[in-house]
Amino acid sequence: MYLFWLRAALVFSGIASLAVLPGAFQGSDRWRRFLVPLCIAGVGCNFIGLTQMLSRAGHWVPTSIEETTASFALLLALTFLGLYLRYRAISLGLFALPLVFLLLLPAAVGVDPARHAYEPLRNGWILIHIAFVLTAYAALVLSIVSSLLYLIQERRLKTKQIGGIFSHLPPLETIDQISFRMLVIGFPCMTIGLLAGALIAQQTVGAAYFLDPKVLLSIAMWLLYVWMLYVRGHSGLRGRRAAYLTSLVFLAALTVWVANQFSSVHRFAAP
C-alpha cells in the first residue's frame, strides 16, 4: 500500500514541477493558486507512504537509499512550502520541486524494503541524528538555490535586462535573506545531528569511528560552515561573494554525502 502513496506523491510533485513554470516565468496567478494545494497533497502522500514503508521494514529510521531519498524529499518539500508561504518566492520551486520529484523516484519504483531492523537502529539517538542531518541538507539545498537566483538577478539588473524567463524573480534583498536564513537554520540542525552521531559512536563503534572518512569530512565541513557564518555575520558579506561562500559549503556537504559509499559505518543498507 505504501507504493500507492509514494507514487501519488510522485505524481503531485511532477504536476507541481510543471505548474511552477508559468508562475515563475510569466507571473501567472492562476497557476500560483494550484501550487500550494499540489505541494500539500504531495507532502501528505509522501508522509503516509514513507511511514508505511518504514513500518513494513521494521524500523523508523531511514537506512536504504529509497528510504533516505523519500525522507529528504519530504523535508525539502516542506521547507520550500514554508519559504513560499513566507516570501512568495515561487522561483525556488524551479529547482526544488523537480529535485523532490527525482528524490521520490527510487522509492516509488517498487523496491521492497528490508524487513528486519538492525540493532543499532533501536537507539533513539539514530533518529535524532538522521532527522537533523537531513533537515540541514534540505536547508543547504534551498540556500544554494537562492544563491544561484541571486547571481542571476544581479546579472539581470547590471545588464538592465527587461523581460525574459527570469523577469519575476524576487528582489535581491529578499533572495539574500532567504539564503542566509536557510544557512542559519541549517547550522544548528547540522550541529545537533553530528553530536547525536558522536554519541552513537561512543556506544557502538568506539574511537575508531572518528577515523572514518565520512566523519573526518563531516568535521571539516562543519568547521567550514562555522567560518562561513562568522564571515557573513561579522563582515556583513552579501551578494556574489556570499553566494560563492554558500556554494563552497554546499559542495563540502555534497562531498560528505558522497562519502557514504566509502564509509565502513555509514554505507546505505542494501534493500
The pLDDT value recorded for residue 116 is 43
The pLDDT value recorded for residue 262 is 65
Q: Which residues of 164-187 are buried (b: 16+ CB within 10 A; e: fewer)?
A: eebeebbebebbbbbbbbbbebbb
Please give the sequence-ordered ranges of beta strands (E in DSSP) within 48-152, or none if there are none.
none
Q: Please state at what angle helix 172-204 crosses helix 213-235, rounded to 10 degrees.
A: 150
Residues 6 or more apart whose CB falls under 8 angstroms from that of 202 comprise none
Q: Is 90 exposed, middle or buried (0-12, 13-18, 19+ CB in 10 A)?
A: buried
Residue with cell 537566483: 149
3-state helix, strand, coil in the chain (%, to 5): 80, 0, 20
Q: Which residues of the chain have pLDDT under 70?
A: 23, 25-29, 110-124, 163-165, 167, 202-211, 260-271
The pLDDT value recorded for residue 209 is 61
Tell which residue, 50, 48, 42, 96, has the closest CA to residue 69: 50
Residues 6 or more apart whose CB falls under 8 angstroms from that of 141 comprise 76, 96, 99, 250
DSSP 62: -
The pLDDT value recorded for residue 271 is 38
Residue with cell 557573513: 232
> How does pLDDT run across 11-67, given as a tens digit for each residue?
999 999 988 888 676 666 677 788 889 999 999 999 999 999 988 888 777 878 888
Distance CA 224, CA 220 (A): 6
The pLDDT value recorded for residue 219 is 86
The pLDDT value recorded for residue 270 is 40
Tell which residue, 160, 150, 98, 143, has the closest CA to residue 250: 143
What is the distance between the terminal CA atoms of the chain, rounded to a whole angstrom?
Answer: 18
Residues 6 or more apart whose CB falls under 8 angstroms from that of 269 comprise 63, 64, 114, 118
CA-CA distances (angstroms) from residue 123 to 23, 86, 95, 119? 45, 36, 35, 8
What's the grid cell of residue 266?
555509514
